[in-house]
Amino acid sequence: MTDWLIEEPADTRAVARSLVLEGAGQERGKGARAQAQTVALRLHDVLIHNNKKWFDIFGGADIRLDAVVVQGNVIDADPAAAYVPTTMRFSGIGDGDRLPSDESGMLLYYGYPRHFLDISIIVSRDRRDTDDLSTRLAKEMNSSVMKSAMATILGLAVAAPPAAAVTGAIAAAATIGNLARQIVEGMSGNTIGMYRGNRLAYPEKFGQGRNPSDGSSYRKGDFSFWYEVISSPAI
């Protein structure tokens, strides 16, 4: 099992109850857009406590932030629609600096989730001429790891997936997050911080509101942050 510095796994015991509350008879796949609410996930106040650079007298460090958000929804039976990868790059970041963003934060996901949102974030030193995470994950689509994970997530495309299918898809989402971490670690310099979390549709409403909910920030290692989940009617 991959050792994430910060990890909030889903309570898979709650999946069956989540499906009952969600309404297992709702349409999936192509009709899901019409029924689901749009959900945005925004990252805020990403503070780099230690940029892993020995000498800052020559300027700050180049930092990359990679994330992959896996939704428990398959649109048009397209495996690639199940996950959203993001890579953001920053230069001149010193110890104690926040990664630049506007008041809205950094958008990591905007879509139509069902069942769960699985969130993986990796912050590390950047190296020149490295691929974005989306490019590398696309290259992994024919690997046995991705094929297996995608096949499991595609099981959610049926009208009323059983709790076991959703639990399996949550595990598959974790596999994609772990693969993303391995990819980034292979391309980047020192790892600064990592986070994995999972939010069920019910009762957590995909983590709607601020996370952590007590107004603090997540911190372990050399970075801290918080994120918010905002929902709105589908458009």
Asked, for residue 52, whether it belongs to a domain, the answer is yes
Asked, for residue 186, whether it belongs to a domain, the answer is yes
Domain count, the chain: 1
In this predicted model, what pLDDT tens digit does every residue of 127-163 receive, in sequence order?
A: 988 999 999 999 999 999 999 999 999 888 776 778 8
- In angstroms, the CA 11 to CA 198 distance is 9
Region 71-91: what's the mean pLDDT?
Answer: 85
Give yes or no for residue 54 having a pLDDT over 80: no
Least-confidence region, from 1-10, 116-125, 167-176, 194-203: 1-10
pTM: 0.86
Asked, for residue 1, whether it belongs to a domain, the answer is no
Give yes or no for residue 15 having a pLDDT over 80: no
Cβ neighbors of 94 (< 8 A, separation 6 or more) are 48, 51, 56, 60, 61
Give yes or no for residue 119 having a pLDDT over 70: yes
Q: Look up the domain containing 90 and give its range.
A: 6-232
Region 171-185: what's the mean pLDDT?
Answer: 94
Of 164 and 121, the one with more pLDDT: 121
Asked, for residue 41, whether it belongs to a domain, the answer is yes
Confidence band, pLDDT 50/70/90 cuts, at residue 11: low
